[in-house]
């Protein structure tokens, strides 16, 4: 991540002080008021019926958040698709997508579930229902109001929650925290870094913004590693090993935490901005920083590296595969979800 982007992110998160940061915060606050007005207009347009919504002939489940990235929407989408397939349903996933990286990632994780990519998700929903899909999952769909949903799932970062409470660009909120009230089910992610007191505090805050809505807790569960050829190795191979953690995701610190929880010693780190597009210079930089250490990356980053010349790191490169794991409130979540979508699909 560039120094400027890191600095601006620190300003947005109130991690930077000084005269320059103070001036920038004033500018960003003014811009956030304009953004807030636009969000309010859109919200009122849908609430009043001025903006019409599409009602799918099959049930729709939306997964999203109120903040800018980092809550685990994609692995949670995989969890939902697997759940519905186990129930005998025929799910499809609808994504807007950043290029085709997210599409490829979901296709790898869900080989038997079609993934429809495109800005016009109403059109994608129509195509999916024509292809005999009987339940649709909107990945990153909380702010996508054009499609009515039978179940609205809100993911909340257990540590960051709603950031400093400001809307973008002064803060990390996409819409006001009170919008959590639109959720039918709330899942607090990254709960493995939370103490019981933290969970009680988060639950209390959520009750304020979304009274009566059921809250569950989840974590990112590391499963196994693969090398660039696809050969699988156990997480045991990480235990006691010095490794170099490389990622371009919204929460690199949590990636490092996950590796350490699996037994690795994170002796080196290379961090790029979220949605970073890798090039040959990046591979050379990774090789220089990581040296002879085993290099561990996320599946998301590996997808973006495909097609590149990986010489210099290829023999040391390993991909960590993770799954979303509901740790508390799983039965309540599944019962609530099934109740919301039952009887509305074939």
pTM for this structure?
0.94
pLDDT at position 345 over 50: no
Q: Write the burial class of residue 221 (CB in 10 Å: 0-12 exposed, 13-18 middle, 19+ buried).
A: middle
- DSSP assignment letter at 57: S
Mean pLDDT of the chain: 93
pLDDT, residue 312, reads 93
pLDDT at 98: 61
pLDDT at 6: 75
Separation between Cα atoms, residue 181 and residue 213, nearest integer Å:
8
pLDDT of residue 103 exceeding 60: yes
60-220+326-341, CATH topology level: Rossmann fold (3.40.50)
Three-state DSSP state, 189: strand
More confident residue, 308 or 10: 308
pLDDT at 70: 83
Task: Say if CB 74 and CB 299 are below 8 A apart.
Answer: no
100: confidence class by pLDDT, cuts 50, 70, 90: low
Can you tell me the distance from the alpha carbon of 111 to that of 115, in angstroms, rounded to the nearest whole number?
Answer: 9
Residues 322-339 have pLDDT tens digits of 999 999 999 999 999 999
Rounded to the nearest 10 degrees, the angle between the axes of helix 3-12 and helix 19-48 is 70
Q: Which residue has the tokens 């980053």?
A: 301
Q: What is the pLDDT of residue 346?
A: 42
Q: How confident is residue 99, by pLDDT bands cut at 50, 70 and 90? A: low
Model confidence pLDDT, tens digit, residues 235-260: 999 999 999 999 999 899 999 999 99
Question: What is the C-alpha separation between 199 and 328, in angstroms, rounded?
Answer: 11
More confident residue, 10 or 95: 95
Quick check: 188 pLDDT over 60?
yes
Helix/strand/coil for 219: strand
What is the distance between the alpha carbons of residues 54 and 144, in angstroms, rounded to a whole number? 11
The per-residue pLDDT for range 33-48, each reduced to its tens digit, is 999 999 999 999 998 9
Tokens in use for 28? 């960003």
Q: What are the structural domain ranges in the chain?
A: 3-48, 60-220+326-341, 221-323
User: Exposure of 323 by Cβ count < 10 A (0-12 exposed, 13-18 middle, 19+ buried)?
Assistant: middle
22-31 long-range contacts (CB < 8 A, ≥24 apart) are 25/170, 28/169, 28/170, 29/166, 29/170, 31/169, 31/170
Residue 222's Cβ-count burial label (10 Å; 0-12, 13-18, 19+) is: buried
Q: What is the pLDDT of residues 47-97, one digit of tens each?
A: 899 999 999 999 999 999 999 988 999 999 999 999 999 999 999 999 987
Answer yes or no: are the C-beta atoms of 84 and 342 closer than 8 Å.
no
Amino acid 141: pLDDT: 94
Summarize the confidence of residues 143-162 as an average pLDDT: 95
- Closest-CA residue to 302 (of 331, 322, 327): 322
Of 166, 175, 159, which is closest to residue 64 (Cα–Cα)?
Answer: 175
Mean per-residue pLDDT for 210-232? 97
User: Percentage of the chain with pLDDT > 70?
Assistant: 97
Longest CA–CA span in the chain (Å) reads: 61
Q: Are 295 and 244 in contact (CB under 8 A)?
A: yes
Residues 6+ apart with CB under 8 A from 190: 71, 72, 157, 158, 159, 219, 220, 251, 254
Rounded Cα gap, residues 85 and 87, in angstroms: 5
33-60 per-residue burial string, b: 16 or more CB within 10 A, e: under 16: eebbeebeeebeeeeeeeeeeeebebbb
SS3 263: coil
Residue 33's nearest CA partner among 167, 175, 173, 177 is 167
Write out the two tokens for 121: 């998700």
Dump pLDDT digits (tens) for 304-320.
Answer: 998 999 999 999 999 99
């Amino acid at each position: 991540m560039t120094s400027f982007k890191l600095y601006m992110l620190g300003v947005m998160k109130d991690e930077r002080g000084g005269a320059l940061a103070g001036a920038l915060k004033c500018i960003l606050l003014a811009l956030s008021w304009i953004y807030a007005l636009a969000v309010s207009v859109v919200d009122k347009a849908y609430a009043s019926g001025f903006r019409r919504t599409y009602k799918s002939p099959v049930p729709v489940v939306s997964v999203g958040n109120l903040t800018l990235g980092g809550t685990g929407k994609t692995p949670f989408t995989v969890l939902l698709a697997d759940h519905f397939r186990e129930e005998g349903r025929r799910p499809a996933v609808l994504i807007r997508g950043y290029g085709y990286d997210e599409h490829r990632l979901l296709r790898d994780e869900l080989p038997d579930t079609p993934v429809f990519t495109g800005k016009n998700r109403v059109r994608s929903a129509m195509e999916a229902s024509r292809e005999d899909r009987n339940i649709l999952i909107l990945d990153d769909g909380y702010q996508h109001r054009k499609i009515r949903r039978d179940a609205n799932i809100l993911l909340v970062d257990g540590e960051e929650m709603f950031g400093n409470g400001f809307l973008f660009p002064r803060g990390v909120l996409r819409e006001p925290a009170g919008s959590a009230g639109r959720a039918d089910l709330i899942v607090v992610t990254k709960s493995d870094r939370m103490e019981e007191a933290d969970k009680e505090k988060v639950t209390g805050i959520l009750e304020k913004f979304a009274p009566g809505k059921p809250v569950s807790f989840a974590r990112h569960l590391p499963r196994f590693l693969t090398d660039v050829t696809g050969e699988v190795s156990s997480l045991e191979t990480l235990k006691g090993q010095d490794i170099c953690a490389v990622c371009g995701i919204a929460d690199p610190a949590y990636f490092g935490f996950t590796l350490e929880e699996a037994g690795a010693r994170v002796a080196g780190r290379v961090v790029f901005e979220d949605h970073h597009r890798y090039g040959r210079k990046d591979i050379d930089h990774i090789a220089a920083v990581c040296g002879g250490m085993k290099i561990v990356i996320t599946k998301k980053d590996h997808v973006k590296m495909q097609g590149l010349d990986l010489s210099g790191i290829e023999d040391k490169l390993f991909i960590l595969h993770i799954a979303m794991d509901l740790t508390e409130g799983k039965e309540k979540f599944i019962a609530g979800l099934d109740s919301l979508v039952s009887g509305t699909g074939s």
